[in-house]
Structure 1
Amino acid sequence: MPLHVSSAPAPALRSVLTALGSPTAVREAPVAALRSHQGPLSPDHPLPLHVWDDVSRAGDTPQTRLAGWSFLVRGGERAVATAEAMLTADGWMFARFCGGPYIASTEQALAQAEALSAPYQPRLLSVPELYMLTLWLHHDLDADGAEGMPAPGDLLVPLAPAPPGIAAHRPHRVADLLPRLTLRLSSAPLLAEPA
């Protein structure tokens, strides 16, 4: 089934296009594949980037907040980086270019999601407490991609590298994965304060 990709806010897209059109911004990016690419670069697959806070608080429902929009940056047929835009007091602004394994992992997870029998609205969901990024497949296709909470029947696809004990690229229902995340965080040893 095709994914129902949300449209990014026009100012967020413009900020990314401006950064991609800036030789200085691209040349100074911390992403070697982006700096060395010859030819045009274009933003693709805009995904709202949500952060899931306080997963470790037992009994509480974790809250999500929109942190920005992430775009795969295409250089020809492949993604060479991601570009992120964030909302500031002055409006949407380009935040950064990113590289690393999450680029290929995001492409793989999106391809997996396209092959599912049910349609979904794709989003990204970060779990900072576990240094984890997931593709969040939301069931409500008409929902505003910038808002909402993961519903129990939504799917989360952990991107690689995933935390130990959590399989990357294996879809999990939110209702099944949340207890595992909470348990993982509550059993993590506390770091001692320096003397």
Structure 2
Amino acid sequence: MRAMLFDGENPRLREADLPDPAPGAGELLIDVRACGVCRTDLHVVDGDLAHPKRPLVPGHEIVGTVAALGAGVTGFAPGDRVGVPWLGRTCGHCRFCADGRENLCDAPGFTGYTIDGGYATRTVADARYSFHLPRQYSDLEAAPLLCAGLIGYRSLAMAGDARRIGIYGFGAAAHIVAQVARHQGRT
């Protein structure tokens, strides 16, 4: 497969030919169709986030199609269109995972940071953290929803039925939240 590699030292990615990854138990092999560039990806290659996997294939706003299933995977089939976000895996048993707050897991894995991501022609992902994607969005439209869209949705959902919301900072997540809130008739 073709991939863009971060060596952990130089912020300039280099193109490389790598062996195709194989899905392990509970994983999907995905043919990547699009992968967005998030500010977090830039933090990784700029050295702002400590201890990335080395070498690393960055990218965590992945849209692709399932090429193969690892042992034990259910709910997916080859050819399914899927998305892969930043949160790539969790332990499943810490107090946060047990309470449904996996985003705070004590032992997480992050796509494009501690797990190889989508700046490649293929990747593997934990099926539990992969999503079926609706067809009405193109690959390029869907990719940013896998980070900013998820973050924005989570924050908007936490606001409950509030008719008036405040947005602090204004990156991609806030941009998406503002559009959804306006569509919902909020101010």
User: TM-score normalized by structure 2?
Assistant: 0.26
Task: Give the strand-richer structure, 1 or 2.
Answer: 1
Query: Comparing both chains, which one has the higher relative contact order based on Cα–Cα distances under 8 Å and sequence gaps of 6 or more?
Result: 2
User: TM-score normalized by structure 1?
Assistant: 0.25
